[in-house]
């Protein structure tokens, strides 16, 4: 009998296939004592396993490239964390086996992260995956992970670790469903990059029996269990219609009455550029530069290395717009040479621009490298700072850009509610705004973007968040300046229309979403988008806002 479940749709498309579950987690190793004479040997085993897992994660990252590479390299650093390894050595010295010492040391660290709130609690799934891989290697059992199958399937998991998501084979994994996670979790972002339909935060997903046929709608978040032939046909017809609309929609982004909406790509480095170009991106709206710094958490990359990487991206968009975000370190992206290790709540501490202003040499080197990378190129370079709180922050960043001789537009990201509320003041110092809706939602609702339990508050359709977007866009319009959105909200085709109706001037997203957004905008006039935006803001919940906007655009 057909039943319908609903989670959070995070990656467009429809997948119909049999359920396959993620490999089970490693069993808890037995707690047995070893002779003192064996301690050194066991410590060596532990270090070898840790190094092997870190190397495997790094290799997976090199294969995946782009956003996935940065995430996996961060996991590799987590595996080799010096404090964790010191704890493992201590536990072995008092009689634990290597596998038990790793298990217990990670459990202690896990408890600290789980109670830390905000970003750090969101790293628990990543930590569990690293632990499982190390323990599996020590026990000599298969690694937990994606099941082996010769036939295509829909993958079900409690959560997906970045190492698994990054290398999913889209010819076999038709789509995936997780019990946990949120719309801005690593798994969701990587799913969009792969173009695999995905639904997260679905309670009870693990109870779906192996081999059950389900249909996954990554746009609506609906899961149809044992769908009827009629439902399958309906979903397949809708998917075919969407595919035809995508193929028919080409060229620059615009509404049906010709209002131009530049559609830009979010990239994590040179590896993401080919997909952005293939999708018809009109430039880059968010170039995350963290990937360079995650290669070595103890040292900043040289100016020469930065110039080479930046120039590869800039050269890909001749006469296009490339918006670079300077290093956003801190919180879930700690760097030993930059970020303090003892902050009680790093997401609310020294991160983003605050970190860079504390280390002007790092900021200066990056800005100088960007200036040199852009020399002689016809690209329109724009550089923005993360986590700008007020006008003083904006001025400090603009002053640093000028001091580095940077010939570019300087901008500020709006990720903190204070920046949206005082956007006009900030625009006295910079030339554009870019809304990071993922963090803006997190800070507006005090809801960690990695925690599925609060996913309703991470929903970019929340009317309070739309109010902050409107405030920022109105301020930019009043100052004759631009205000784009580079958060994942821009990848929702319906919400994209609402954002334009709120006054946003450009949209930046993962490359796979660009065709969907282009086709959606082309169906409606600017006036229709404005009416949909007004209806969404008048609602009292995210679901009501989404339904109200859909009703307006459907002519209901």
Catalytic residues: 186, 486
Q: Measured in whole angstroms, how far is the alpha carbon of residue 244 from the centre of its chain?
A: 28
Q: What angle do CA 330, 384, 520 make, to 5 degrees?
A: 105
Q: What angle do CA 92, 95, 99 make, to 5 degrees?
A: 50
446: Cβ–Cβ under 8 A, 6 or more apart, which residues? 457
Distance in angstroms (rounded) separating the CA atoms of residues 128 and 147: 18
Strand segments (E) across 310-359: 321-325
- Which ranges in 33-166 belong to alpha helices (H)? 39-64, 66-79, 82-93, 98-114, 118-121, 124-139, 162-166
Say how many C-beta atoms besides its own lie within 10 A of residue 278's C-beta. 12
Identify the CA nearest to 278 among candidates 514, 485, 66.
514
Identify the CA nearest to 427 among candidates 479, 380, 491, 497.
479
Q: Measured in whole angstroms, how far is the alpha carbon of residue 279 from the centre of its chain?
A: 19
Distance in angstroms (rounded) separating the CA atoms of residues 105 and 99: 10
Check if the beta carbon of residue 92 is closer than 8 Å to that of residue 319: no
Q: Measured in whole angstroms, how far is the alpha carbon of residue 120 from the centre of its chain?
A: 15
Reduced to 3 states (helix: H, G, I; strand: E, B; else coil), residue 323 is: strand
What DSSP string runs through 293-310?
HTT-TTSPPPHHHHHHHH
Distances (CA, A) of 84 to 46, 136, 222, 382, 513: 11, 18, 41, 40, 39
């Amino acid at each position: 009998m057909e039943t319908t479940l609903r989670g959070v749709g995070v990656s467009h498309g429809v997948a119909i296939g049999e359920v396959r579950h993620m490999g089970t987690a490693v069993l808890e190793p037995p707690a047995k004592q070893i002779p003192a004479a064996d301690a050194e040997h066991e410590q060596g085993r532990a270090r070898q396993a840790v190094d092997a897992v870190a190397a495997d994660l790094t290799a997976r990252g090199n294969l995946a490239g782009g956003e996935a590479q940065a995430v996996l390299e961060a996991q590799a650093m987590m595996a080799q964390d010096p404090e964790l390894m010191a704890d493992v050595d201590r536990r072995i010295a008092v009689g634990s086996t290597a596998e038990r010492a790793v298990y217990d040391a990670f459990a202690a660290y896990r408890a600290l992260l789980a109670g830390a709130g905000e970003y750090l609690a969101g790293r628990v799934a990543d930590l569990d995956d690293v632990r499982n891989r190390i323990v599996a290697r020590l026990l000599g059992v298969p690694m937990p992970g994606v099941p082996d199958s010769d036939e295509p399937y829909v993958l079900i998991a409690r959560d997906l670790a970045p190492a698994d998501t990054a290398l999913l084979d889209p010819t076999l994994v038709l789509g995936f469903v997780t019990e946990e996670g949120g719309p801005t979790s690593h798994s969701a972002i990587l799913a969009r990059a792969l173009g695999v339909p995905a639904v997260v935060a679905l309670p009870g997903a693990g109870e779906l029996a192996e081999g059950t046929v389900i249909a996954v709608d990554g746009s609506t978040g609906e899961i149809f269990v044992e769908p009827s032939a009629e439902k399958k046909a309906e979903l397949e017809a809708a998917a075919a219609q969407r595919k035809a609309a995508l193929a028919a929609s080409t060229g620059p982004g615009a509404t049906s009455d010709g209002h131009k909406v530049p559609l830009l790509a979010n990239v994590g480095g040179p590896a993401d550029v080919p997909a952005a170009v293939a999708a018809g991106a009109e430039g880059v709206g968010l170039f995350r530069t963290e990937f360079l710094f995650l290669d070595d958490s103890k040292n900043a990359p040289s100016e020469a290395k930065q110039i080479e990487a930046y120039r590869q991206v800039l050269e890909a968009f001749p006469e296009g717009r490339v918006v670079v975000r300077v290093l956003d370190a801190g919180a879930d992206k700690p760097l030993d040479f930059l970020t303090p290790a003892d902050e009680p709540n790093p997401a609310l501490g020294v991160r983003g621009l605050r970190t860079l202003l504390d280390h002007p040499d790092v900021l200066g080197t990056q800005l100088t490298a960007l200036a040199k990378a852009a020399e002689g190129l016809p690209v329109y370079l724009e550089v923005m700072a993360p986590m700008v709180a007020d006008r003083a922050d904006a001025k400090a960043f603009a002053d640093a850009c000028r001091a580095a001789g940077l010939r570019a537009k300087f901008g500020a990201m709006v990720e903190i509610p204070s920046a949206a509320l005082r956007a006009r003041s900030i625009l006295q110092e910079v030339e554009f705004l870019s809304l990071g809706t993922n963090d803006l939602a997190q800070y507006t609702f005090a809801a960690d973007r990695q925690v599925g339990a609060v996913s309703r508050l991470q929903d970019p359709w929340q009317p309070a968040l739309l109010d902050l977007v409107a405030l920022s866009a109105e301020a930019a319009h009043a100052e004759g300046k631009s205000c784009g959105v580079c958060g994942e909200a821009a990848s929702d085709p319906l919400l994209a229309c609402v954002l334009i109706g709120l006054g946003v001037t450009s949209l930046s997203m993962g490359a796979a979403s660009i065709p969907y957004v282009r086709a959606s905008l082309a169906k409606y006039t600017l006036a229709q988008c404005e009416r949909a935006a007004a209806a969404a803001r008048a609602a009292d919940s995210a679901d009501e806002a989404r339904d109200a906007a859909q009703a307006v655009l459907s002519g209901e």
